[in-house]
Structure 1
């Protein structure tokens, strides 16, 4: 082998070495962070504050019935449920009304506008949280399915940690091929920016919450400025967590197992649009932060795919000799180590996943999602839930929003 070929092998071996280190780090983290389960401690029966579940729903006919059935089945005695239909064009309102007729704890509210300066979800929650009577506000998405013991476990989790806001990472329900392939990898890209251990460290300013299910005290919500304070965010959950933690109030993020699940997106198009929006806003709409996230898979994942193809091409054409065989061996070791790490990653979000071996395809799609998010930083355009936004939406529309909230 030539000196250049030797240097190439050394450089590639250095890239590969990151993977056993990542495996060890993941094993340590997963071993220390015990998940919340249905068997986790529950709130004492004598200390049940009123909880107001608030569920915004825009064209959610596919998921709302299952979500409401699960919320109604909570083993928690002091619960009111507010469903806000946000200008839906499908059967969402019909489904909500049916549950309202069957359960006196449910109130169905309707939103008919979106003032300038607000994203759709933030306005709906700002306007209708005024109708909630609970000491705790439980904001949850219509695509989640909490198990019956969820509220008792989460309130005890909040009490034992003296937390003003608690959120969770649900298990993902992935029913299509693309969900199985992309969701775990997209999730790990986000969580590497918001490690749960740092989120749960009161001395660390980093904050995160998952809007699929957030429990926050009314006092903390009001002190943080409510959803008015995050009115222009596309990931209002992270913004809310930042506001609460910024006031010196503890927040907590729990990993769950068998306690709550969520089906975020049902098609490849929804996956791409949804995760592009999340990455764009979660990383502060800064292209350089998104570019750094893109460089990681390009250097440490895609390099393995490229080297494998190059080595096979060289050997297939009868060229390369010992150098090609070394490339082939290293690339196979690279893929084996990546598989071991991604096995852990997939199992956290999609237990017993049978699609771990598809991670090279998932890498490519995640790359595209990150590139799309970078492009959003330059175009300033975001489309979601049938609404097109200019990402530079101004902090306006307060008077109309306040009047609507007062009218509620």
Structure 2
């Protein structure tokens, strides 16, 4: 039995697409529990109507947020208490899954004896603003950390990455450690949970989704800037000096080389940039030529994100879905 657990807050525009895609799974042994986290729209009513015709689905209302908890973390904590499965699969409400996803995930958990499997979803991008922001997630992630190392480097919490869009847990180990409770006040709970899993000498793995999950992460440039500035520094262990060094390297480095006037060195450098963009784009299921052409504007966007992330980190003014976090 797999318990599919979905925290939802103001997701009336998205959630039915996810529920319909889950209902088409070729894996029969599952239950779906949706927690409405004090939505101001009709998310609860939509899920309730869907559940009437689908007995494996049910929706519950979340409890008021206690002091010291981040909203999503508390929603996931409540969902885990309601679940009866051998595995717990946490999904975000704005996703769409392929019909082989659960079957493949269960197989991977058995094959690698995993406590946690996390997948980095394929991102849908429609507007130019989204193309300027969203590809940066895979670009920074794969540049900084070959994902295979997450599993191969055992018991090292510094080699950790995960995506909250797909977190697949062994339920027995989850109930022992209460992973979301351990990171109840962490903004980027997915990475912190993977660190905790490895710190407890459990096996965690992070992989690219390879088309098994798709998500339109943000709708527009401003929403993307706000979202990424909320969690980008987690990749740098919240170190502002480390973050700034990375920004100076990827943005200032090519500019410095261009200023030398050495055309052989310039050509070599820009060939490496193009090659890396093509390879990462193809791995992430993105249009490589879009990312190559938009690379200068994406790097400018990365600089904007860096400024916003540092400003929010220093002033502690991060907001998400109407809550200060």
Question: Normalising by structure 1, what TM-score?
Answer: 0.74
Matched residue, 1:361: 297
Matched residue, 2:280: 345
Bigger Rg over Cα = 1
DSSP 3-state at the match of 2:126: coil
Q: Deviations over 1:130-168 (max 9, x none)?
A: 111111000011122110000101111111111111111
**Contact 1:168/1:256 (CA < 8 Å) preserved in 2?**
yes
Which residue, 140, 143, 158 being the options, matches 2:91? 140
Change (3 A) 1:351 1:279: closer
Which residue, 73, 76, 81 being the options, matches 2:32? 81
Which residue, 380, 383, 387 being the options, matches 2:319? 383
The number of residue pairs the alignment matches comes to 322
**Contact 1:198/1:204 (CA < 8 Å) preserved in 2?**
no
Give the whole-Å Cα distance in 2 for the aligned partners of 1:201 and 1:329.
Answer: 38
DSSP 3-state at the match of 2:69: coil
Give the whole-Å Cα distance in 2 for the aligned partners of 1:225 and 1:152.
Answer: 25
**Contact 2:154/2:198 (CA < 8 Å) preserved in 1?**
no
**Contact 1:80/1:105 (CA < 8 Å) preserved in 2?**
yes
Matched residue, 1:285: 238
Larger deviation: 188-197 or 72-81? Answer: 188-197
Give the whole-Å Cα distance in 1 for the aligned partners of 2:165 and 2:254.
Answer: 30
1:8-407 alignment runs, 5 A limit: 50-203=1-154, 205=156, 206-303=159-256, 307=259, 326-327=261-262, 331=266, 334-356=269-291, 357-389=293-325
Q: Deviations over 1:29-48 (max 9, x none)?
A: xxxxxxxxxxxxxxxxxxxx
Higher relative contact order (CA closer than 8 Å, sequence separation 6+) = 1
Q: Deviations over 1:86-107 (max 9, x none)?
A: 1111232222112111210111
Gaps of 5+ in 2: none
Change (3 A) 1:198 1:337: closer
Change (3 A) 1:202 1:328: closer
Give the whole-Å Cα distance in 1 for the aligned partners of 2:212 and 2:72.
Answer: 25
Give the whole-Å Cα distance in 2 for the aligned partners of 1:201 and 1:328.
Answer: 40
CA-based RMSD of the aligned residues comes to: 2.0
**Contact 1:186/1:366 (CA < 8 Å) preserved in 2?**
no
Deviation at 1:340, TM superposition (A): 2.4
DSSP 3-state at the match of 1:355: helix
**Contact 2:142/2:280 (CA < 8 Å) preserved in 1?**
no
**Contact 2:210/2:284 (CA < 8 Å) preserved in 1?**
no
Change (3 A) 1:257 1:94: same
